[in-house]
Amino acid sequence: MTNEGTGTGEVAVRVRADGNMDEGALAYLREKIGAVLGRPGLPPVSGEVRVTRAAAAHVALPWFAGAEIQVGDDLVVVHAREASARELADRLQDRLRSRTERSAHRRVEARRTAAPPPWRGGPRPQQRQGAGGR
């Protein structure tokens, strides 16, 4: 899936489906992933999404998805397990959205926390100059 435009840079995410996943469900999954990773304001995105279905009939949640997405300098890893392919796509979209937004907001200066105290490796206070001839 490659998406260019809207000022987001390039989105290059490969979607792999192991097992029997119909084309409609695969297109739905690609649409959901594209909606999350193609939004404006994200740095360049690349990575891979793997979808598998358990072969055993007795498994309660047979669909599994694992995504490893590089968002700028951050690696976003998401896993999801659901009963159907559509539910899996929805769950994966929710988890990808929350993790990528967290990664994107961490870069914003206004959202960063204050500097850590000196005993945790933060900046040391300046020593006083001319304090009584010591």
Query: What ranges do the domains of the chain cover?
Result: 2-108
Share of the chain above pLDDT 90, in %: 49
Per-residue pLDDT reduced to its tens digit, 14-55: 999 987 889 999 999 999 999 999 888 888 899 999 999 998
User: Per CATH, which fold does 2-108 belong to?
Assistant: Double Stranded RNA Binding Domain (3.30.160)
Decide if pLDDT at 10 tops 80.
Answer: no
What's the CA angle centered on 42, arms 37 and 45, to 5 degrees? 55
What's the CA angle centered on 15, arms 37 and 41, to 5 degrees? 10
Per-residue pLDDT reduced to its tens digit, 83-99: 999 999 999 999 999 99
